[in-house]
Amino acid sequence: QTGTYRQLFHPEQLITGKEDAANNYARGHYSIGKDKIDMALDRIRKQADACSGLQGFLIFHSFGGGTGSGFTSLLMERLSLDYGKKSKLEFAIYPAPQVSTAVVEPYNSILTTHTTLEHSD
């Protein structure tokens, strides 16, 4: 909000907080995710309403971390419910053993792949 690119994003579209999913899929999906999902969907809804012809969503996220795996899978589920057959294209970053920062990254990846498979094009 104070950096060089502060004017790139409108402040009303930023979702900030001190929460951390701690590289834990379940925490990102059920704990932190449950608290933040409605706010995120509200911001998405406002942007979608401003579109004259919404085609779909582009989702960029990591499969290894707790927020990227857990919260994003929850978001994909809810987007499927709220926006039906609108396209949802995922651009995913998979963890690699050579640069892994957490031992649970493979587990997070399996859980989010299982959850998002049916909600992604």
pLDDT, position 41: 97
Q: Which of 90, 1, 75, 63 is nearest to 33 (CA)?
A: 75
pLDDT, position 1: 64
Residue 55 belongs to a domain: yes
Q: Is the dihedral of CA 111, 114, 120, 121 positive or negative?
A: positive
Residue 4 belongs to a domain: no
pLDDT in tens, the chain (121 residues): 678 888 888 888 888 888 889 999 999 999 999 999 999 999 999 999 999 999 999 999 999 999 999 999 999 999 999 999 899 999 999 998 888 889 999 999 999 999 999 999 8
DSSP code of residue 49: H
pLDDT, position 112: 95
C-alpha distances (whole Å) from 46 to each of 15, 42, 57, 109 are 14, 6, 14, 30
pLDDT, position 90: 94
Residue 5 belongs to a domain: no
Q: Please state, in angstroms and rounded to a whole number, the distance separating the CA atoms of residues 28 and 6.
A: 27
Residue 35 belongs to a domain: yes
Residue 73 belongs to a domain: yes
Overall number of domains in the chain: 1
pLDDT, position 12: 85
Where residue 107 sits, what CATH number does that domain have?
3.40.50.1440
Domain that holds residue 105: 11-119
